[in-house]
């Protein structure tokens, strides 16, 4: 699942492949950036803020240093090819950016979302709305706790998924953190120890990103089918008690209400009827009760 740790690991891989390389020419395949050119710039490196990737390029004689912003969402990827190599034909229609390097390698951005190119000193315009990120040097745990606890009635998973509160946590982490906290995913966030929750979330995200073999393992065991407590275990059952794992499907278009997994025995508290979403046209919140034990 592409979450903050996924993008951080991607940034480190791209740094190893591209940092210090000079772009010979660029080809943006999105209308808004079609006339922009990165030719002659050096790739300085990559940074992340939550799920957002920032690729930084050197200045030119006529333009300041630039930053390319991209988001993977669920299907984006980057591919660096050796000289003479080509992407499969079925992938070509989904290429949104091509960078031809002076060393004759090519870099392809595939199914990238929210592409933008700004002066590096304007990065804040693109990611300034995001909350603190445990994988950044400017991580601020107190600020993350303050933001998460600002609306104490908000369901726990919805608060964790809000990138404005704490950046980098996606659906996997929100569900597994609710399990490890020992409460229903829809428990009001004000009913849990938010400082402890933030510390646990930050530690797990860092461990996943930086420790070999620990990527998105929440149980301590990387064995297939044994790496999560509840996520994806609706067939196997809860890893702790062996009881059934229930699921409720996402509300389309509502980032606060994604697919949710939980063990009712290990996670007491409100059920999915406590989910709150905005009504059509931005009207008042309404409840959603549609649920399933099926596989998403």
Per-residue CA distances from 229 to 72, 78, 97, 108, 164 (Å): 26, 30, 38, 36, 26
Is 143 a catalytic site residue? Answer: no
Is 85 a catalytic site residue? Answer: no
Token pair of 280 as six digits: 């059509």
Q: Which among 96, 147, 258, 275 is annotated as catalytic?
A: 258
Any idea which residue has 């630039």 for tokens?
A: 66
Per-residue CA distances from 276 to 83, 187, 261, 269, 283 (Å): 52, 12, 17, 15, 12
Q: Which among 41, 51, 96, 239 is annotated as catalytic?
A: 51
Q: Nearest to residue 54, comparing CAs of 1, 11, 94?
A: 11
- Distance (Å, rounded) from C-alpha 156 to C-alpha 164? 14
Query: Distance from CA of residue 119 to its chain's centroid?
Result: 24
- Distance (Å, rounded) from C-alpha 123 to C-alpha 115? 13
Q: Which among 3, 123, 176, 185 is annotated as catalytic?
A: 3
Is 83 a catalytic site residue? Answer: no
Is 51 a catalytic site residue? Answer: yes
Residues labelled as active-site residues: 2-3, 51, 258
């Amino acid at each position: 699942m592409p979450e903050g740790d996924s993008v951080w690991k991607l940034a480190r891989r791209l740094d190893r492949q591209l940092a210090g390389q000079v772009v010979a020419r660029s080809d943006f395949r999105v209308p808004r950036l079609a006339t922009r050119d990165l030719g002659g710039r050096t790739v300085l490196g990559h940074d992340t803020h939550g799920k957002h990737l920032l690729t930084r390029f050197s200045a030119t004689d006529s333009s300041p240093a630039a930053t390319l912003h991209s988001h993977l969402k669920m299907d984006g990827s980057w591919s660096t090819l050796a000289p003479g190599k080509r992407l499969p034909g079925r992938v070509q229609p989904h290429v949104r950016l091509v960078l031809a390097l002076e060393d004759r390698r090519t870099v392809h951005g595939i199914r990238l979302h929210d592409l933008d190119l700004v002066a590096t000193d304007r990065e804040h315009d693109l990611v300034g709305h995001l909350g603190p990120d445990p994988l950044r040097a400017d991580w601020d745990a107190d600020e993350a706790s303050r933001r998460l606890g600002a609306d104490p009635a908000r369901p726990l998973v919805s608060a964790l998924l809000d990138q404005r509160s704490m950046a980098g946590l996606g659906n996997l982490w929100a569900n597994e953190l609710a399990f490890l906290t020992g409460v229903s995913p829809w428990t009001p966030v004000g009913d849990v120890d938010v400082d402890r929750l933030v510390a646990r979330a930050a530690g797990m995200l860092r461990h996943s990103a930086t420790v070999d073999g620990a990527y998105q393992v929440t149980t301590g065991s990387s064995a297939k089918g044994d790496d999560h407590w509840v996520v994806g275990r609706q067939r196997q059952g809860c890893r702790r008690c062996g009881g059934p794992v229930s699921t409720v499907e996402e509300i389309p278009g509502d980032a606060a209400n994604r697919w949710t997994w939980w063990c009712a025995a290990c996670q007491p508290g409100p059920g999915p009827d406590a989910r709150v979403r905005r009504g059509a046209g931005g009207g008042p919140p309404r409840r959603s009760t549609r649920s399933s034990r099926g596989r998403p």
